[in-house]
Structure 1
Amino acid sequence: MFQQFELAHGVKLYVRPTEQFKTINISFKWKQPITVKDASIRAVLSNILQYSNEVYPSNADFRKRLDDLYGTALYFDTTKKGNNHIFSLNAETVNDAYLSNEKVVDEVFSLLATVIFKPLLVNGKFVDSIVKREKEQVIERIQSMYDDKTRYAQQRLLENIRPDHPASISSNGTVAEVKVITNDQLIEMHEKLLHEDELSIYIVGDINVEEIKEKMKNYFPFSNRTEKLPTEVVNKQGKNDTNYLHEIQDMKQGKLHIAYHTPITFYSEEYPIMQMTNGILGGFAHSKIFMNVREKESMAYYASSNYSSLYGLIFVLAGIDSNLQEKAVQLIDEQILAMQKGDISDLEINQTKSMLKNQLKEALDSARAQIDIYDQYKELNEDFKVEEWVEKWSNVTKEQIQQMASKIEKEFVYFLSGKDGANNE
Structure 2
Amino acid sequence: MFETIQLAKGVQLHVRPTTQFKTVNFSVKWRTALTNEAAAVRTVLTNVLQHSNAKFKTTAAFRSYLDDLYGTVLYFDTSKRGNEHTVLLNIETVNDQYLNNANVLQEVLSIVHTAVMEPNVDENGQFVETIVSREREMVVQRIQSIFDDKTRYAQTQLTKNMRPNHPASISANGSLEAVKAVTVESLMAEYTRMLAQDRVDIYVVGDVNVEEIAEQMKQALPLQDREVSSITVPQADVQPFEYVREQQDMKQGKLHIGYSTPVKFGDSDFATMQVFNGIFGGYPHAKLFMNVREKESLAYYASSSYSGHYGLLFVLAGIEAANEKKAYTLIQQQLEAMQQGEISDLELAQTKAMLTNQLKEALDSARGQIEIYDQYKDLPESFNIDTWSARWTQVTKEDVQRIAQQVTLEAVYFLSGKDNA
TM-score (norm 1): 0.97
For 2:175 and 2:48, how far apart are their aligned partners in 1?
17
5+ long unaligned stretches in structure 2: none
| Secondary structure at the counterpart of residue 265 of structure 2 | coil
Instruction: Quote the offset at 1:89 in angstroms.
Output: 0.5
The answer on whether the counterparts of 1:160 and 1:238 sit within 8 Å (CA) in structure 2 is no
Instruction: Quote the offset at 1:234 in angstroms.
Output: 3.8
- Spell out the pairing of 1:367-386 with structure 2 (5 A cutoff): 367-381=366-380, 383-386=382-385
The answer on whether the counterparts of 2:83 and 2:231 sit within 8 Å (CA) in structure 1 is no
- Quickly say closer, same or farther: Cα 1:415–1:235, change in 2 above 3 A: farther
Instruction: Quote the offset at 1:230 in angstroms.
Output: 4.9
Q: Which residue of 1 aligns with 2:336?
A: 337
Q: Which residue of 1 aligns with 2:165?
A: 164
For 1:213 and 1:100, how far apart are their aligned partners in 2?
24
Q: Does 1:13 align with 2:36?
A: no
Percent identity of paired positions between Structure 1 and Structure 2: 55
The answer on whether the counterparts of 1:322 and 1:420 sit within 8 Å (CA) in structure 2 is no
Q: Which residue of 2 aligns with 1:38?
A: 38
User: What letter matches 1:167 in structure 2?
Assistant: A
- Spell out the pairing of 1:135-174 with structure 2 (5 A cutoff): 135-174=136-175
Q: Which residue of 1 aligns with 2:321?
A: 322
For 1:138 and 1:411, how far apart are their aligned partners in 2?
31
The answer on whether the counterparts of 1:234 and 1:311 sit within 8 Å (CA) in structure 2 is no
Instruction: Quote the offset at 1:98 in angstroms.
Output: 0.5
- Spell out the pairing of 1:7-406 with structure 2 (5 A cutoff): 7-122=7-122, 123-231=124-232, 233-234=233-234, 236-240=236-240, 242-381=241-380, 383-406=382-405
For 2:173 and 2:291, how far apart are their aligned partners in 1?
36
User: What letter matches 1:332 in structure 2?
Assistant: I
Deviations 1:287-315 (A, max 9, x none): 00110000000000000000000000000
Instruction: Quote the offset at 1:342 in angstroms.
Output: 0.7
TM-score (norm 2): 0.98
| Secondary structure at the counterpart of residue 136 of structure 2 | helix
The answer on whether the counterparts of 1:258 and 1:317 sit within 8 Å (CA) in structure 2 is yes
- Quickly say closer, same or farther: Cα 1:2–1:28, change in 2 above 3 A: same
- Quickly say closer, same or farther: Cα 1:53–1:382, change in 2 above 3 A: farther
User: What letter matches 1:250 in structure 2?
Assistant: D
Instruction: Quote the offset at 1:227 in angstroms.
Output: 2.2
| Secondary structure at the counterpart of residue 4 of structure 2 | strand
> Across the two proteins, how many residue pairs are aligned to each other?
420
Deviations 1:318-347 (A, max 9, x none): 000001111111101111111111100110
For 2:197 and 2:409, how far apart are their aligned partners in 1?
40
Deviates more, 1:208-217 or 1:311-320: 208-217
The answer on whether the counterparts of 1:323 and 1:420 sit within 8 Å (CA) in structure 2 is no
Which ranges of 4 or more aligned residues in structure 1 deviate by more than 2 Å?
A: 237-240
For 2:420 and 2:245, how far apart are their aligned partners in 1?
9
Instruction: Quote the offset at 1:108 in angstroms.
Output: 0.3
User: What letter matches 2:205 in structure 1?
Assistant: V
| Secondary structure at the counterpart of residue 121 of structure 1 | coil
For 1:14 and 1:230, how far apart are their aligned partners in 2?
20
Deviations 1:365-411 (A, max 9, x none): 11111111111111214621121111110111111011001000111
For 2:231 and 2:283, how far apart are their aligned partners in 1?
30
For 2:44 and 2:381, how far apart are their aligned partners in 1?
32
| Secondary structure at the counterpart of residue 263 of structure 2 | coil
Instruction: Quote the offset at 1:213 in angstroms.
Output: 1.0
Aligned CA RMSD, in angstroms, stands at 1.0
Deviates more, 1:254-263 or 1:211-220: 211-220
Deviations 1:246-276 (A, max 9, x none): 0000000000000010000002110000000
For 1:17 and 1:421, how far apart are their aligned partners in 2?
58
For 2:413 and 2:208, how far apart are their aligned partners in 1?
50
| Secondary structure at the counterpart of residue 300 of structure 2 | strand
User: What letter matches 1:97 in structure 2?
Assistant: Q
